[in-house]
Structure 1
Amino acid sequence: MSNVTMQQFDIDPSYSQPIKLQINLSYDGFTLATNLALPRRGVTVLFGHSGSGKTTCLRVLAGLERSATGRVVVGDSVWQDSERNIFMPTYTREIGYVFQESSLFPHLSVFDNLNYGYKRIGKHKRQIELEDVCELLNITRLLERRPNQLSGGEKQRVSIARALLTSPKLLLMDEPLSALDNLIKAEILPYLEKLHQRLSIPVIYVTHSIDELARLADHVVMFSNGQITRSGKAVDILCDPTFSAQFGERSGAIFDTKVVKKEIDDITLLSIEDGPILYVPKRHEKIGDKVRCRILATDVSVCIDYPKHSSILNILEATVEQIVESHRIGELLLILELASGIKLQSFVTARSIRLLAIKPGTSLWVQIKAVSIC
Structure 2
Amino acid sequence: MGICLSCEYAEKLESDENIVYVVEEGGLNSDEDGARRIASLYSQQGKKGPNQDTAILCQGYGMEEGVLCGVFDGHGRSGHVVSRMVRDYLPSLLLSERNAILLASEGYMYSDSDDTSSINDDDSPVSSPDMFDEWKEACINAFRAMDKELKHQNNFDCTFSGTTAVSIIKQGKDLIIANLGDSRAIMGAISEDGHLEAIQLTTDLKPNLPKEAERIRKSNGRIFALRDEPNIQRVWLPDENYPGLAMARSFGDFQLKHYGVISVPEVSYRRLTNRDQFIILASDGVWDVLSNKEVVSIVWSVGSKEKASKAVVEAAVRAWKCKYPSSRIDDCSAACLFLQDTSTVNKC
Q: Which TM-score tier does this pair reach, normalised by the shorter chain?
A: under 0.3
Larger radius of gyration: 1
- TM-score for the superposition, normalised by structure 2: 0.24
- Greater relative contact order structure (CA < 8 Å, 6+ sep): 2
- TM-score for the superposition, normalised by structure 1: 0.22
